[in-house]
């Protein structure tokens, strides 16, 4: 791909706006920046398109959004499903409403009706809306928890989950076969007049909230303790503010305090450098308010409200951060134990997690007699399993989660849902209070019952072309030279999901991984330690996930620190 030629085309062709032309002329003497913007097209990763906002084929802009949407429209038309329409949502990021309209008007110009939310909505509600409105697909304009300079474009299929094979490959083939100038559009008023652009809002909101209420198990405990439990919540300038507060208010939590500095939508995220509930920085204002108000738990949702970060207070008044593995395990134990106690576990019940998620719940699945299913990273694969259950008529989804602070309770959505997680965690707080326990007590009970598992992640950010090459080099080295031991621990099994092999390191027996091809390697070690390495599908990063088992929380943390230090030496050697 001749990036200079494409750059010149964008600068000189009157098809592109004067604003775009001026932005690109401003970098005419910056060879590296021109190359970064034009050396390749943005491609779908685990969550669709995601990139820095700006002019160029490797950036998020109106033209790239329109091209992606034209490809989606072509795919829908080829499958003869254009009569069912597409639901479109957007978050609080810069350009999100504009990108949503670009997508809607492209669909309308192709004769496909667009159902566009009147204002920002959370990702799980978009997932819900696709099925509620019987749409063939959904589009969500969001970059989730990425920094402010990013935006993105997630595509959902008719089952309400993000696109998986064969649809992802089919849509991308269509996108790659056209240019930005092939994308169609039409005037908004004309689209509305022809019934191809419909604004949606309250009806879908009410239906979504109604589905969440059906998932409450212990309304009795909420009625008794909901007026006493104090919750501090922050939407981190994103979409969670209205739905999270609404569901908690309507089921009976009276003391929900929102961080005022982070309440209103703002795509610049002025109070944080990185609007991610995984980051301690995101909780600084919330924790200050929690300590002032003596709150019982502190909750933060990311900008599109599919991830939930949590701090819980113990009986001594100290706040403890729960990782995504911890909060997911705590909620899994609560949901499974209470489903068993109130209505019984179905014979075909299933708990689904990604391969980089904690093994803490493995024992939980055995305890409650449910099938434990592992899938590749990306919640779309959990959604894919849910669809498989429906198609086969066998399998009852009970709980699904990823280590990256995302889980799903119920089948109303097919993506991570921080709104339902917020509701369930507050309900669990009320239930455990009825037992004389805090949520931290409940977390320790989980460890005591299933073992002290500590799970960590080391992330290396490597931006640009050079960074991409370094990431590829690390992955290539691991695939070509399977380590016999890591941090002094003998490797017992080595899985390479890129070539579908699982090798027993003791006898060299080779089995299939039984999962789709993916650029991931995974190592199991003798003492229950594990390590998984994969490039991020949404950011210029390579991630090293690992899990350790100890005799206590302190012991597991100490062993994890030791393992991290040895892992960093190994990474440094590969660099």
- Give the residue numbers marked as catalytic: 144
Residue 298, C-beta contacts closer than 8 angstroms, at least 6 positions apart:
231, 232, 233, 283, 286, 287, 290, 310, 311, 312, 319
Beta strands in 291-370 (DSSP E): 297-301, 308-313, 319-322, 349-354
**What CA–CA distance (Å, rounded) separates 504 from 511?**
8
Q: What would the DSSP string read from start to end of 536-575?
A: -SSSSEEEEEEEEEESSHHHHHHHHHHHHHHHHHHHHHH-
Residue 401 near residue 324, CB atoms below 8 Å: yes
The answer to whether the CB of 243 falls within 8 A of the CB of 308 is no
Q: How far apart are CA 344 and CA 330, in angstroms?
A: 19
Cα 424 to the center of its chain, rounded Å:
18
**Cβ contact 325:362 at 8 Å:** no
Placement of tokens 């660099």 in the chain: 575
* R_g of the chain, CA atoms, integer Å: 24
Interatomic CA distance for residues 289 and 407, integer angstroms: 26
Tell me how far CA of residue 408 lies from CA of 207, 314, 336, 341, in angstroms: 17, 26, 13, 20
Do 142 and 90 touch, CB atoms closer than 8 A?
yes
Residue 140 in contact with residue 128, Cβ under 8 Å? Answer: no
Q: What angle do CA 446, 336, 305 make, to 5 degrees?
A: 85
Other CB atoms within 10 A of residue 562 CB: 13
The sign of the dihedral angle between the CA atoms of 159, 162, 165, 171 is: positive
**Quick check: 532 and 518 in contact, CB under 8 A?**
no
Residues whose CB is less than 8 angstroms from the CB of residue 71 and which lie 6 or more positions away in sequence, other chains included = 171, 172, 174, 175, 176, 177, 178
As a whole number of angstroms, the distance between CA 204 and CA 128 comes to 8
């Amino acid at each position: 791909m001749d990036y200079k030629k494409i750059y010149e085309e964008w600068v000189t062709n009157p098809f592109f706006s004067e604003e775009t032309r001026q932005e690109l002329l401003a970098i005419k003497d910056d060879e590296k920046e021109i190359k970064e913007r034009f050396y390749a097209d943005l491609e779908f990763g685990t969550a669709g398109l995601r990139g820095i906002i700006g002019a160029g084929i490797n950036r998020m802009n109106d033209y790239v959004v329109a091209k992606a949407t034209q490809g989606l429209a072509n795919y829908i038309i080829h499958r003869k499903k254009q009569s069912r329409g597409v639901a479109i949502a957007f978050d609080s990021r810069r350009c999100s409403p504009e990108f949503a309209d670009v997508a809607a008007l492209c669909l309308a110009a192709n004769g496909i009706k667009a159902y566009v939310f009147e204002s920002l909505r959370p990702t799980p509600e978009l997932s819900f809306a696709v099925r509620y409105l019987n749409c063939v697909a959904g589009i969500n304009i969001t970059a989730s928890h990425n920094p402010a300079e990013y935006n993105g474009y997630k595509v959902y299929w008719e089952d309400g989950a993000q696109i998986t094979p064969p649809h992802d490959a089919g849509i991308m083939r269509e996108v790659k076969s056209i240019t930005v100038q092939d994308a169609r559009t039409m005037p908004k008023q004309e689209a509305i007049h022809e019934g191809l652009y419909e604004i949606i809002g309250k009806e879908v909101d009410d239906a979504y909230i109604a589905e969440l209420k059906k998932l409450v198990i212990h309304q009795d405990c909420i009625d008794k303790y909901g007026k006493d439990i104090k919750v501090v919540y922050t939407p981190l300038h994103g979409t969670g503010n209205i739905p999270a507060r609404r569901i908690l208010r309507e089921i009976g939590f009276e003391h929900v305090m929102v961080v005022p500095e982070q309440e209103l939508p703002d795509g610049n995220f002025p109070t944080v450098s990185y609007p991610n509930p995984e980051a301690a920085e995101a909780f600084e204002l919330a924790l200050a308010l929690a300590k002032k108000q003596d709150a019982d738990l502190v909750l933060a949702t990311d900008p599109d409200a599919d991830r939930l970060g949590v701090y819980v207070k113990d009986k001594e008044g100290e706040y403890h951060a729960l990782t995504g593995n911890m909060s997911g395990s705590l909620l899994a134990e609560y949901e499974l134990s209470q489903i068993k106690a109130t209505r019984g576990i179905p014979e075909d019940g299933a708990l689904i997690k990604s391969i980089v998620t904690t093994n803490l719940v493995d024992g939980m699945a055995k305890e409650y007699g449910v099938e434990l299913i592992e899938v590749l990273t990306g919640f779309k694969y959990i959604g894919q399993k849910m669809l498989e259950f429906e198609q086969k008529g066998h399998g009852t989804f009970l709980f699904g989660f990823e280590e990256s602070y995302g889980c799903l309770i119920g089948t109303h959505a097919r993506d991570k849902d921080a709104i339902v997680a917020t509701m369930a965690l507050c309900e669990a707080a009320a239930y455990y209070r009825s037992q004389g326990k805090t949520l931290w007590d409940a977390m320790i009970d989980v460890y005591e019952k299933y073992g002290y598992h500590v799970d960590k992640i080391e992330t290396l950010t490597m931006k640009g072309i050079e960074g991409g090459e370094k990431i590829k080099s690390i992955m290539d080295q691991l695939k070509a030279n399977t380590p016999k031991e890591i941090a002094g621990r003998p490797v017992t099994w080595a899985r390479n999901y890129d070539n579908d092999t699982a090798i027993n390191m003791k006898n060299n027996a080779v089995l299939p991984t039984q999962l789709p091809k993916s650029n991931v390697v995974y190592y199991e070690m003798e003492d229950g330690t594990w390590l998984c390495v994969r490039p991020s599908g949404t950011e210029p990063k390579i991630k090293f996930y690992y899990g350790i088992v100890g005799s206590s929380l302190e012991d597991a943390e100490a062993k994890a620190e030791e393992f991290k230090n040895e892992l960093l030496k190994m990474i440094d050697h590969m660099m």
